[in-house]
Amino acid sequence: MDFAPNSPLANRISNNNNHSEIEKRRRDRMNELMGQLATLIPSTFRRKLDKLSLLRLALDHISTMRTSNDKELNRDCCANHVIFSDLLTLLKNNVQHFVAVVEISSGKILYASDEMRKFLGDGVLARNWYEILHPIDAAIFKKETSMECRGNVNNGDSVCETVSSSTGYYKQKVEWNLGFRRSFSCRLQVYNSKHSDHSEQNYEYFHCYGSLRHVDKPVLMMLLIKLFSSPIEERFQITVTPNGQIIRCGSGLPYILKHLPQDLTGCYYYDLIHEGDLLDVAYHHKQVLRQRDSREMNYRIRAVNKHCIKVNATWIPFTNPWNLKTQFIIINHRSSSVRRDEESSPEQSVLRQLLSSNKRSQRNYQEITPELAVLGVARLAESVAEAS
């Protein structure tokens, strides 16, 4: 049927044809862009993703990159005049370190730098991370690298849901807390030993600085720095509460006492002190709490290998300015000598301390606070019970 060229019906048909062509070009362009976006998706997916799934994955990736760039990859802690390449050069020339990427669930080593092969050998990628870790530190590593999972419930937002156009199945999106920083000490087996037992000489102390990521599975990107046995490491710091409970340990602790910081956190400081110096340390502890000033003293601390380490300790209390109460005490240690325990028995060393003429009077010892007295007596009672 022919219509007049300028009739209203002919104009309407012409406008509809133009609109259909424009919409077709838009759909073709969108499908082309979707195809380009689909090529960026890893080929591990078993089925072809629909358009909504592609948009969701793209949005998740952009959000993750923005979060990582804003919070995790910044260098606000570094001085502005220091170039990042110079920092890497200083790290490479002055610190024994290596970089590794480990899958948390299975312990598979996904990446190992060349420096890591110097410590663990050429076949490090074929080994399991949990086999390299000290058996005691494996549980601590899992605890430190645990990731929290939360479900994002938002019924009105289609981006927060995985929608399949073929099956019509709605799967709630699961978000992983990405970019969690981790910092802890651990022991790694650096020498290939033929013995089946885990001897201490096969392990070296490392401090791990890592960041959690979730690609297909949760992984940990780690920078591990070997703790040196140098004059700097002869000093270590322990922070305790007013009643003597350890709340923080310094990085120099492993090489001096052979303890990891996480092993002592939550324990009492008096468990480390030699029995012969308990009363003397308790007296100084009381004076620090009473006078709220720094005090310096010498005493012995026990290490894992049953050696006594003579330390010069400086107790520095921190007073809360609001309530004028001691919040915590920082104890800076400087080791002076390492020797074996020459005391015949703990109770004899305490008696020798009490009967010494140059010691303080018995009245000063009786003024010790109840908490400290209980700690000292409990420690002495345990030693007497073990001796008997």
* Higher per-residue pLDDT: 220 or 195: 220
pLDDT tens-digit readout, 197-206: 444 457 788 8
pLDDT tens-digit readout, 204-233: 888 888 888 776 778 888 888 887 654 445
Whether the model clears a pTM of 0.85, i.e. scores above it, the answer is no
The residue among 304, 310, 340, 335 whose CA lies nearest residue 200 is: 304
Residue 118 has pLDDT above 50, yes or no: yes
Please, which residues have CB within 8 angstroms of residue 201's CB and are 6 or more apart in sequence? Answer: 191
In this prediction, residues 81-92 reach a mean pLDDT of 72
Residue whose structure tokens are 């709220």:
292
Alpha carbon separation from 364 to 49, 142, 196, 296, 360 (Å, rounded):
79, 48, 53, 18, 7
- Provide the residue ranges of all domains of the chain, joining segments of one domain with +: 54-226, 231-387
Tell me what percent of the residues of the chain surpass a pLDDT of 90.
7
pLDDT tens-digit readout, 173-191: 444 444 567 777 888 887 6
Query: What is the token pair recorded at 134?
Result: 């000290």
Write the secondary structure of 291-314 as one string of H (helix), E (strand) and C (coil).
HCCCEEEEEEEECCCCEEEEEEEE
Residue 125's pLDDT is 83
Half-sphere exposure of 45 (CA within 13 A, CB side): 12
Fold of 54-226: Beta-Lactamase (3.30.450)
Cite the beta strand spans of 36-79 per DSSP E.
none
pLDDT tens-digit readout, 237-282: 899 999 999 998 877 777 678 777 777 888 899 988 988 888 889 9
Half-sphere exposure of 241 (CA within 13 A, CB side): 10
Q: Counting Cβ atoms within 10 Å, is residue 347 exposed (0-12), middle (13-18) or buried (19+)? A: middle
Domains 54-226 and 231-387 share a fold: yes
Residue 13's pLDDT is 67
In this prediction, residues 127-136 reach a mean pLDDT of 86
Q: DSSP secondary-structure letter at 174?
A: E
Q: What is the mean pLDDT of the chain?
A: 71
Residue 45's pLDDT is 58
Architecture per CATH, 231-387: 2-Layer Sandwich (3.30)
Residue 148 has pLDDT above 70, yes or no: no
Residue 187's pLDDT is 83
Q: What band does 381 get if pLDDT is binned at 50, 70 and 90? A: very low
pLDDT tens-digit readout, 25-78: 898 988 888 888 877 766 555 667 788 888 888 887 777 766 654 444 455 555
Q: What band does 159 get if pLDDT is binned at 50, 70 and 90? A: very low
Written as one letter, the residue type at 228 is: F
Residue 68's pLDDT is 52
Helix (H) or strand (E) holding 93: helix 84-94
Residue 298 has pLDDT above 70, yes or no: yes
Of 75-79, 92-96, 313-317, 366-370, the range with the lowest mean pLDDT is 366-370
Sign of CA dihedral 114, 120, 124, 129: negative
